[in-house]
Structure 1
Amino acid sequence: MNFSSPKFLRFFIAKLIKKTDEQTFLIIVGSIIGVCGGLAAVILHKATHFTFHALNGLSIPDYLKFFVPTIGILLTVFYMKYISRETPGHGIPDVIYAIARNSGVIKAKLMISRVITSTLTVGFGGSVGLEGPIVVTGSAIGSNIGRYLQLNERRKSILIGCGTAAGIAGIFNAPIAGVTFALEVVLGEFAPTAFIPIVISAVCATEIGRIFLGDKVAFVHTPFIINPFELFLFVILGMICGIFSVSFSKIIYKVENFFHELNVSVFVKALIGGAILGILGITFPSTLGEGYDTIQSLLQQNVSAVLQSDLEHSVTAFFGDPILIISAIFLLKILATTVTLGSGGSGGIFAPSLALGSLIGYIFSHGINLITQAQKYVLDEKFFTPLNETNYSLAAMTGIIAGALHSPLTSIFLIFEITGGYDAILPLMIVSTISYVVSKHYEPESLYTKHLAEQGNLIRKSTDIGVLSKIEIKDILEKNYKLATPEMTLGELVEIVKVSKRNFFPVINPKNREFFGIVFLDQIKQNMFESELYDKILVKEIMETDLEVVNIGERMENVMKKFEITDAWSLPVLDENRFVGMLSKSTIFFKYRNELILQNKS
């Protein structure tokens, strides 16, 4: 036997599967995915930050800095169009789609390509984050290991969850957030079978990240101390975050659609986007990149560090307060993020959401401090001391993530882990929950799932639609019926009725199987025993033609809606108007029950 061959490896793995229970096997594979995902996160983090700081450290005139983001997006578009041949975007919807509609299959090239494209985009100043690309990378690792091991769809989905958790845990040093993101956002369910492998994968990735990137919280902040009066303000902040999250999602889609509808080449779109980013980079440098420097400055109450250009300092000096410039940076950060994604950049919206949250929290709290003049005139020291603006930046970060991504648990745990802000549990929970509820009320789907839901591709495996999606119409077609033709007489039809066990008779052209309608037994009962009518009535005169029909490739959830509307128990199935069989509601229910049993076992 050739011990170096893939066949031997598969043989060894097959033996391993037989000798270990499923949970143990998934834990072993999950830990491998965790290590691989952690290494991918380290490579992506180091490559991106090296590129970004190297370019920022160059002593070049401002007019040359204008071209840096353009070069990054052009290189990204070129790589995607001619080398990896993939579509741009933040990628997480593609992972959810792979689980829902593609049997957990993600292309192998995505294990590498998103690391390269996001390094080019973010490293050159694109206003997006790394979490989207690392989730795609980790998920692709999980999917392709599952494919190599020839695992079923359910197990591949769990391994995709492992890759997702590994990516988030490795890039943020946040294992709990990685686990909740995988379960809450990507898989969309808290399945007991998936939980332990995903946890192990996140732990392994976190340890790999700590070895190479260090074990430290991403953002240091001042102590989180509030008085009871401020809880009401956090309620208001949660509502603001929820409303903004909906607006942010809509702006992203509108800008993406704008670029999509431009009748120009992808390179011209990249030039347009790059030019906008170039202008922003010169006038408002804080709008470029992931935005982590902005977050850190606000959490340490070092607002002056956010202001980097002469224009920003001049406006601040003129008005005597930075709130107008911070508000401008907030609005322009939205523009920078949407333009980066719309013009062809590769990256995620996680990091920009955190940056926008920190900005909106500062604007909210600093605005209240200005209005009340609390710094100079304390109305009541017990209930109206100056607000600690850091607290509100921290809380709003949670609110934007919860509202935009519809992931309240992930938002809370992420802020806990990247800031060490465990003393902020109550305000974070208030802002996160209220933002999520408000956002969900106005926009039922998240940034990641809106397009999928509109296309009918958002299917969670534990739901009714998820179970129905596993049922193929061609697998449950019924053939035990008798056919009739339009020119057949009533007498000939009666002879067919005598030997049939069904109460319906599809009417077709026997030469090409063109479908005309159905004769139901109830329609001919009154004439069946009047033999004098046998030669006078033709089938085409009594058949039912106004029928709801099912297409052979139609989705089962649509089929069930047709059954509900018509109140029928059987519907004809066509393939381009060619009759292929009948579909029974009772057969679907039987198949549904079997699929449910299989899912519960797996």
Structure 2
Amino acid sequence: MKTLTFQKEFSVFQSLFLYFTFCLTTCFSMNTTTHLRKNHKRITLQKLSIVSIIIGFLCAFMAVCLKHLTEHYEAILFHKAATNWIFFIIFPVFGLSVIYFLRYYLFKKKENKGIKEIFESTESPTKKLPVYKIPSHFFNGLLTVVFGGSTGIEVSTVVASAAIGSVAQQKENVFKRHKTELICAGIAAGITALFNSPIAGILFAYEVISRKTSKTFAITSGLAVAVAYAFILILDEKPLFEVGVTTWHLHAFPYFLLLGVLAGANSVYLTKCVVYIKGRFTKIDNHATKIIIGSVIISASLLLFPQLYGEGYHAVKTLFVSSGSVVLTTSFVLTMIGILFLKPIITSITLASGGDGGVFAPSMFIGAFLGLLVATVLNTFFDANVIPLNFMIIGMAAMLSASIHAPFTALFLICGLINDYTLFFPILIVCLVSKTTAQLIYPYTVYTYQPKPAN
């Protein structure tokens, strides 16, 4: 009996021992798993932080180089063309031809699709932005603008920056889940360096590309933008437009709203021009025919209005200086209307015939001219006593906001361009008005429009 009792007690003891051993092992295992998970997250975050810093520097360096090269050679070639009109005929056909041969023989015969390439990459787990997209957009954007193509380098910078982020994502397995975040980090850094506005860089990456935020997005974009901004501060980069905004008057507010509505309508005209003309050019199979048709129309427009050459920032800077002394004459009105009518057309033709670029610079160009025209008409016929310079700046922001459906990006981008926040509140309201107007008339931008499949 004693032996049996002892055996039972030993059995109970053994069961308790095994149970406690199991509990201890399970707890230890759970602690180890939790520790490994935390360690993995920490290592991933460290790697993402390091690669974001590298992306920020590379994108900023690339953007600054492209900006200065474009400004330098555009000024030289535009001066040549302004003194000898024959260059207005030679430059566009030469530039588009060189771009075609580069694309055909060097860049895998692939056409640049602009920001739509980024959407295709971020929306698909398999599609990537290949490394050749970096030199492709860099050189094609440069050649398009310096030889008179009526667009800007902004979209070329955005896609090349996105390609840098995409290539970085492909180098580490732990980055595969963060492709969109690293692409957005590159874009934010490129925009920051180009427009001297870190907030605009992050907002553009959010409003146009990602459309959602996360902890990883905040860390990667924040670090990339911080590095890009530090880089341009070290280089002492100056604002693109150095203007002296002193004040704005409350009585001008209804006129600002009018400008917002007009900018929204004009942005739809620009968008529909791009969509329609690109659609027509895609039906032309022969690339030589595209180049010839495009060059003839661009050259004819430049002969009529040299202000349309390249980005057009040279013309905007001239208007900023003379805006206070502009007088409403028949010649002035015809010039302004001609430019506002032709700019969307030749921008579309530049892109459709092989040029590289987008609607950033054209939108700001149109907005500046529209703002000056509206202010001059108001002062002449309605004794509105508004400040033309303010209308030019607000018009730039309003057109950009309506064209890309990104009011907050436009707000901080334009304030960064002039390095002045005096007009912050009116720009904010007008950007919202212009975007809403554009969406009510036509819900798409050149980035979001999808052609209907053929039946």
Note whether the superposition's TM-score is higher than 0.5: yes
Alpha-carbon displacement from aligned partner over 1:268-289 (angstroms, at most 9, x marks no partner) = 2112111222222222111111
Report the Cα distance in structure 2 between the residues aligned to 1:188 and 1:362, rounded to whole angstroms. 33
Q: Is the 8 A contact 1:239 1:435 kept in 2?
A: yes
Q: Is the 8 A contact 1:358 1:394 kept in 2?
A: yes
Partner of 1:360: 370
1:274 pairs, out of 295, 299, 303, with 295
Report the Cα distance in structure 2 between the residues aligned to 1:90 and 1:105, rounded to whole angstroms. 14
Partner of 1:255: 277
In the TM superposition, residue 203 of structure 1 has moved relative to its aligned partner by: 2.2
Report which structure shows greater RCO (CA 8 Å, sep ≥6). Answer: 2
Read off the aligned partner of 1:108 and give its amino acid letter. Answer: V
Partner of 1:137: 160
In the TM superposition, residue 247 of structure 1 has moved relative to its aligned partner by: 2.0
Q: Does residue 292 of the first structure (1) align with residue 313 of the second (2)?
A: yes
Read off the aligned partner of 1:80 and give its amino acid letter. Answer: R
Q: Does residue 167 of the first structure (1) align with residue 190 of the second (2)?
A: yes
Partner of 1:9: none
Alpha-carbon displacement from aligned partner over 1:72-113 (angstroms, at most 9, x marks no partner) = 011112211232035445611111111002446211111211
Read off the aligned partner of 1:388 and give its amino acid letter. Answer: I
1:38 pairs, out of 60, 74, 95, with 60
Partner of 1:427: 426
Alpha-carbon displacement from aligned partner over 1:327-346 (angstroms, at most 9, x marks no partner) = 21222222221110111111
- Give the TM-score, by structure 2 length: 0.85
Alpha-carbon displacement from aligned partner over 1:322-371 (angstroms, at most 9, x marks no partner) = 23212212222222211101111111211111111111111111111121
In the TM superposition, residue 154 of structure 1 has moved relative to its aligned partner by: 3.1
Partner of 1:222: 244
2:150 pairs, out of 116, 127, 137, with 127
Report the Cα distance in structure 2 between the residues aligned to 1:297 and 1:440, rounded to whole angstroms. 32
Read off the aligned partner of 1:53 and give its amino acid letter. Answer: A
Report the Cα distance in structure 2 between the residues aligned to 1:288 and 1:90, rounded to whole angstroms. 22
- Give the TM-score, by structure 1 length: 0.65
Read off the aligned partner of 1:415 and give its amino acid letter. Answer: I
Residues 102-501 of structure 1 mapped to structure 2, 5 A cutoff: 102-103=125-126, 105-212=128-235, 214-262=236-284, 264-302=285-323, 319=329, 322-372=332-382, 374=383, 384=384, 386-451=385-450
Alpha-carbon displacement from aligned partner over 1:118-164 (angstroms, at most 9, x marks no partner) = 11111111111111111111111111111012244431211100111
Partner of 1:20: 42
User: CA separation of 1:352/1:210 partners in 2, compared to 1, >3 Å: closer, same or farther?
Assistant: farther
Unaligned segments of structure 2, at least 5 residues:
1-38
Read off the aligned partner of 1:354 and give its amino acid letter. Answer: M
Other structure's SS at 1:98 match = helix
Partner of 2:124: 101
Other structure's SS at 1:450 match = coil
Alpha-carbon displacement from aligned partner over 1:412-467 (angstroms, at most 9, x marks no partner) = 11011111231111210111001111222233332211128x68xxxxxxxxxxxx
Q: How many residues align?
A: 414
In the TM superposition, residue 252 of structure 1 has moved relative to its aligned partner by: 0.8
Higher strand share: 1
Read off the aligned partner of 1:292 and give its amino acid letter. Answer: Y
Report the Cα distance in structure 2 between the residues aligned to 1:163 and 1:28, rounded to whole angstroms. 13
Higher helix share: 2
Report the Cα distance in structure 2 between the residues aligned to 1:239 and 1:65, rounded to whole angstroms. 34
Q: Is the 8 A contact 2:55 2:186 kept in 1?
A: yes
Q: Which moved more, 1:393-402 or 1:17-26?
A: 17-26
Q: Is the 8 A contact 1:224 1:421 kept in 2?
A: no
Report the Cα distance in structure 1 between the residues aligned to 2:446 and 2:138, rounded to whole angstroms. 22
Report the Cα distance in structure 1 between the residues aligned to 2:257 and 2:449, rounded to whole angstroms. 26
Report the Cα distance in structure 2 between the residues aligned to 1:104 and 1:399, rounded to whole angstroms. 34
Read off the aligned partner of 1:75 and give its amino acid letter. Answer: V
Report the Cα distance in structure 2 between the residues aligned to 1:244 and 1:282, rounded to whole angstroms. 23
Report the Cα distance in structure 1 between the residues aligned to 2:97 and 2:216, rounded to whole angstroms. 43
Read off the aligned partner of 1:432 and give its amino acid letter. Answer: C
Q: Is the 8 A contact 1:122 1:129 kept in 2?
A: yes
Read off the aligned partner of 1:440 and give its amino acid letter. Answer: Q
Other structure's SS at 2:423 match = helix
Choose 1 or 2 for highest CA Rg.
Answer: 1
Report the Cα distance in structure 2 between the residues aligned to 1:51 and 1:150, rounded to whole angstroms. 42
1:73 pairs, out of 85, 96, 99, with 96
Other structure's SS at 2:392 match = helix
Report the Cα distance in structure 2 between the residues aligned to 1:355 and 1:113, rounded to whole angstroms. 25
Q: Is the 8 A contact 2:323 2:372 kept in 1?
A: no
Report the Cα distance in structure 1 between the residues aligned to 2:186 and 2:266, rounded to whole angstroms. 30
